[in-house]
């Protein structure tokens, strides 16, 4: 019988690992646990019930620039969509249009982090 396999981290290639780690640590209320010139790791705060169940995020330095829409992105579920979008904008995110305006049932807001990586802020689950 083999040991269970789990995802240790999600790696995001980027130009400035510290910039993105700072943004995402603040956005998710996580902590930076490792950092050097090549990469920065963020993890859940100690005491979170999801520690060991949710992967870390590694921002890894890569000289290639982002030129197309991400093939993988985060969907974030807030308690208050409007308040969360405003908070993320204050951290450096921007709202972007990727075609969601053409979908009348769209309940999400598409944003980009400081290096242009797309992510979505979903409606609150209670809505």
Same domain, 43 and 90: no
Same domain, 76 and 127: yes
**Residue indicated by tokens 């920065």:** 40
User: Is the residue at 1 inside a domain?
Assistant: no
- Number of domains making up the chain: 2
Same domain, 41 and 85: no
Same domain, 88 and 109: yes
The tens digit of pLDDT for each residue in 88-118 reads 999 999 999 887 777 878 899 999 999 999 9
Q: What is the mean pLDDT of the chain?
A: 92
Structure tokens at 44: 């859940």
Question: Does the pLDDT of residue 11 top 80, yes or no?
Answer: yes
* Closest listed residue to residue 95, CA positions, set 105, 79, 110, 80: 110
**DSSP structural state of residue 77:** -
Confidence (pTM) = 0.88
CA distances from 57 to 50, 63, 74, 80, 109 (A): 14, 19, 11, 24, 22
Alpha-carbon distance of 78 to 26, in angstroms, equals 14
């Amino acid at each position: 019988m083999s040991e269970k396999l789990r995802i240790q981290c999600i790696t995001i290639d980027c130009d400035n690992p510290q910039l993105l780690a700072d943004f995402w640590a603040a956005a998710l209320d996580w902590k930076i646990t490792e950092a050097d010139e090549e990469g920065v790791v963020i993890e859940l705060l100690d005491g979170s019930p999801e520690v060991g169940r949710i992967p870390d995020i590694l921002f890894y330095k890569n000289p290639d620039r982002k030129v197309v829409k991400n093939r993988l992105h985060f969907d974030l579920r807030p308690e208050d969509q409007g308040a969360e979008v405003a908070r993320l904008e204050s951290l450096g995110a921007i709202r972007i249009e990727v075609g969601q305006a053409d979908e009348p049932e769209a309940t999400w807001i598409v944003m980009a982090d400081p290096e242009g990586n797309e992510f979505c802020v979903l409606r609150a689950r209670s809505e």
